[in-house]
Amino acid sequence: MSADPIIRIRDLETRFGTHTVHEHLDLDVERGEVLGVVGPSGTGKSVLLRAIVGLKHPSAGSIEVFGRKLDTLGDEERRSLERRWGVMFQDGALFSNLTVRENVMVPMKEHTNLGPKLSAELADMKIRLAGLEPDAGDKFPSDLSGGMRKRAALARALALDPELLFLDEPTAGLDPITAAGFDTLLRQLQKSLGLSVFLVTHDVDTLNAVCDRIAVLGEKKVLAIGTIDELRAFDHPWVQEYFGGPRGRAATGH
């Protein structure tokens, strides 16, 4: 891993009206790691992801991605930076009126000048990379199972060969076997493509199978960050219950 973090957040504050979600939040995501982000409901895990990718404007503080402060960039620089990351939103957020192939081609149309034929061929490659059968490209999201929709959304997130991947609850709503298959795929892709991954999840199995480190959000900031074993030793009631409770122990074999 590089000494230079791929994401660097300092003194972040995010608010909705008078409600403060984050305050004085600091976080580094190292290049080449899978960082899991957990915390009780309402601690702003998805809000933090949205702030990093520019969908939620912070009230204060700084966010750097690839060493660039996002709020200082012009439109063209910003678009150039956005090409280097991919986002998979919580429910997949696929366009229901487009086929899977057309969904995967959307970022290509937005950010490149590739022709339709080449874009379609690249989209089919990403669809296979995400573990779907070749014929999935012609299907609509409504034709797919929950697990297949997640993989289609992953294929779209990988459309531009990103260095950095943002995943929001990628295994939510999946049965344990399908979720485990997704975790295995994600870890394989991360290693083979050299990805850095920012992963919001509540799934202890995913944390154990995929993540190098875990950041725990709470009390409007990052309460703790480390490996599962390090967090299990952290003296905080929610952290103790989450990692030391029955589900946490079962997931990690303790």
SS3 120: helix
Percent of the chain residues topping a pLDDT of 70: 94
Phi and psi, residue 214, nearest 5°: -135, 135
What residue spans define the domains of the chain?
7-84+162-252, 96-159
| Rounded Cα gap, residues 149 and 134, in angstroms | 14
| Rounded Cα gap, residues 31 and 194, in angstroms | 9
> pLDDT digits over 30-46, tens only?
999 999 999 999 899 99
The CATH class given to the 7-84+162-252 domain equals alpha beta
- Reply yes or no on whether the pLDDT at 248 is more than 60: no
Can you read off the two tokens belonging to residue 243? Answer: 């990692």
- Reply yes or no on whether the pLDDT at 188 is more than 80: yes
- Reply yes or no on whether the pLDDT at 168 is more than 60: yes
**Mean pLDDT for all residues in the chain:** 92
- Reply yes or no on whether the pLDDT at 254 is more than 90: no
**How many residues appear in the chain?**
254
Contact 186, 9 (CB under 8 A): no
Place of tokens 């919001």: 200
Confidence of residue 110 (pLDDT cuts 50, 70, 90): confident
- Reply yes or no on whether the pLDDT at 196 is more than 90: yes
226: left (phi over 0), alpha (psi -120 to 50) or beta: left
Contact 184, 209 (CB under 8 A): yes
Residue-level pLDDT at 31: 96
Question: What's the mean pLDDT in 190-199?
Answer: 96
> pLDDT digits over 60-72, tens only?
999 999 999 988 8
Angle at which helix 146-157 crosses helix 116-129, to 10 degrees, equals 130
Measured at the CA of 213, the angle between CA 174 and CA 86, to 5 degrees, comes to 60
What pTM was estimated for this model as a whole?
0.92
Distances (CA, A) of 244 to 3, 250, 254: 31, 9, 9
Confidence of residue 1 (pLDDT cuts 50, 70, 90): very low
SS3 215: strand
- Reply yes or no on whether the pLDDT at 252 is more than 80: no
